[in-house]
Amino acid sequence: MTSEIIVIADEVLLGQTLDTNSHFIAQQMVGIGQPVNTVTVIGDDKDVMLTAFREAYHRSDVVLITGGLGPTHDDKTKEVIARFFDLPIIFRNDILEAVRERFKERQLPLNDSTREQAQFPEGATPIPNRYGSAPGIWIEREGRFYGAMPGIPAEMKSMMTDFVIPRLRKRCEGRDTTRFRSLHTFGIMESTLFEMLDNREEIEQNAKLAFLPSYKGVILRLTAHGKSLEAANELLRRAERLVRDKVGSYIIGDGENFSIEEVVGRLLRERGWKLVTAESCTGGLLSKRLTDIPGSSDWFERGWVTYSNESKHEELGVPAELIEKHGAVSPEVAEAMAEGALRRSKGNVALSLTGVAGPGGGTEEKPVGLVYIGYATASTVMHKRHIFPDKRDVNRERSATAALMLLLDQFQPHIRERAPQLI
């Protein structure tokens, strides 16, 4: 079964909105073993849409469209789909009633442009919209599946999970299945990994091997095709064993939900330790990322966002003289922040960050991107210095990641020892 996604969104082409919809749809399709082959983003021009619909229809068994369904004049998907399938537009009282009901619940006035939603292509199936007024459109024809959903993420997502995926899952029973699996490495370069994996041919007899480098580490991805879920999973298992034979000691986690935050949480949980944070330049990003993990209250105790110098002194007990002498962005203050956080809480380990996030505030001595990370336990105090070359938001993300890596390093020193050429 071949499938693809069409995103209708001028705002994506204009760089105004990041397209996360196709990402979600792609994940859902992977979930039923049918990854998409193509994503196409186009503008809301009727002719362009018609051409894209036609090409996709010839290329793929499943075409999932998002965007261009709504109450305003720039929403053209319904009209173009009706034209493409040659379906007349009719008035559907059941749709109007559903919209009326939803608006009543939310105590909103029903206006004319909302009433327009009840105009619907004859013979197509409306996909109920849990969060908005525009129904999706579902068409099955010649063994092919066409689904159009609004571009608002919450509306599209509920249509995917409640309607589209259950239907497609049934249709692809007994068909070939694609599965993949990710192995997350830490502390080793992509090209070194590549050379260490000199059994690639054997691996690839089972599953396709791909390398995904990022500043958090290189991910090894295995993708297998099988006649069934079990067959594909067995191929993945075999390939994974071959990979682990060669580079197992660099693998710190696996799966799609892997994150450094999870590994840190697991290590803290194993020790029965609690982490506390003291952040300046990252302004809460580190604690935000840690508390992204469900259950993080078991190992994350509290955090401070000591943005002002006074707050560093008042909340964490960093001596005012220390800040005056070395500056807020200094190894001394980073360490004092971590020590203070430890002292003023019941945490067992503290991470701190102080840096110049940019774009302003840099000097020759302390440039934008400079960050000091502090680490403190009852027995150890240390810091690490980084200079990140990116923009404010990326520098802040990298800083938070570097703090987590520093903890990882301290908790799992054997990995670093084997990989001196750390990224």
Write out the two tokens for 88.
Answer: 């007349």
* Site stretch for its own copies (CB under 8 A), options 23-31, 81-89, 164-172, 231-239: 23-31
Window 379-418: contact mask with its own copies (x via CB under 8 A): ----------xx-xxx-x----------------------
Residues listed for the chain? 423
Among 68, 337, 42, 296, CA closest to 287: 296
* Site stretch for its own copies (CB under 8 A), options 12-20, 136-144, 164-172, 227-235: 12-20
The yes or no reply on residue 107 touching its own copies (CB under 8 A) is yes
Cis peptide before 359 (omega within 30 of 0): yes
* Site stretch for its own copies (CB under 8 A), options 83-91, 229-237, 264-272, 294-302: 294-302
* Least distance from its own copies to the Cβ atom of residue 370, Å: 16
Three-state SS for 220?
strand
Return the residues of window 352-381 that contact its own copies according to CB under 8 A: 357-360
Return the residues of window 195-234 that contact its own copies according to CB under 8 A: 195, 200, 208-215, 219, 221, 223
Q: Which is nearer to its own copies, 9 or 139 (CB)?
A: 9
* Residue 252 near residue 267, CB atoms below 8 Å: no
* Least distance from its own copies to the Cβ atom of residue 123, Å: 27
Name which position in 2, 50, 71, 411 contacts its own copies (CB under 8 A). 71
The yes or no reply on residue 129 touching its own copies (CB under 8 A) is no
Window 42-61: contact mask with its own copies (x via CB under 8 A): xxx---x-------------
Name which position in 46, 54, 113, 413 contacts its own copies (CB under 8 A). 113
Query: How many angstroms separate the CA atoms of 278 and 193, rounded?
Result: 35
Among 219, 86, 64, CA closest to 150: 64
Query: How many angstroms separate the CA atoms of 229 and 179, rounded?
Result: 8
* Least distance from its own copies to the Cβ atom of residue 235, Å: 16
Give the C-alpha distances (Å, rounded to integers) separating 276 from 86, 91, 402: 62, 59, 16
Q: Which is nearer to its own copies, 174 or 294 (CB)?
A: 294
* Least distance from its own copies to the Cβ atom of residue 86, Å: 26
The yes or no reply on residue 34 touching its own copies (CB under 8 A) is no
Q: Where are the beta strands (DSSP E) in 306-391?
A: 349-355, 370-377, 381-387
Query: How many angstroms separate the CA atoms of 183 and 248, rounded?
Result: 9
Query: How many angstroms separate the CA atoms of 37 and 47, rounded?
Result: 23
Is the sign of the CA dihedral 361, 364, 367, 368 positive or negative? positive
* Least distance from its own copies to the Cβ atom of residue 41, Å: 4
Name which position in 128, 284, 317, 319 contacts its own copies (CB under 8 A). 284
* Least distance from its own copies to the Cβ atom of residue 359, Å: 6
* Site stretch for its own copies (CB under 8 A), options 72-80, 119-127, 262-270, 379-387: 72-80
* Least distance from its own copies to the Cβ atom of residue 389, Å: 7
* Least distance from its own copies to the Cβ atom of residue 418, Å: 14
Q: Return the half-sphere exposure (C-beta side, CA atoms, 13 A cut-off) of residue 414.
A: 5
The footprint of its own copies on this chain (CB under 8 A) covers a number of residues equal to: 109
**Exposed, middle or buried by CB within 10 Å (0-12, 13-18, 19+), for 269?**
middle
Give the C-alpha distances (Å, rounded to integers) separating 241 from 120, 180, 231, 248: 53, 14, 16, 9
Write out the two tokens for 171.
Answer: 């249709």
Return the residues of window 232-261 that contact its own copies according to CB under 8 A: 256
Among 134, 128, 131, 130, CA closest to 115: 134
* Residue 23 near residue 35, CB atoms below 8 Å: no
Neighbours of 392 (CB within 10 A): 16
At residue 243, what is the residue type? V
Return the residues of window 321-340 that contact its own copies according to CB under 8 A: none
* Site stretch for its own copies (CB under 8 A), options 83-91, 103-111, 168-176, 259-267: 103-111
Q: Which is nearer to its own copies, 245 or 310 (CB)?
A: 310
Name which position in 8, 36, 63, 260 contacts its own copies (CB under 8 A). 36
The yes or no reply on residue 109 touching its own copies (CB under 8 A) is yes
* Site stretch for its own copies (CB under 8 A), options 69-77, 118-126, 262-270, 406-414: 69-77
Query: Which helix (H) or strand (E) covers residue 29, if one does?
Result: helix 21-31
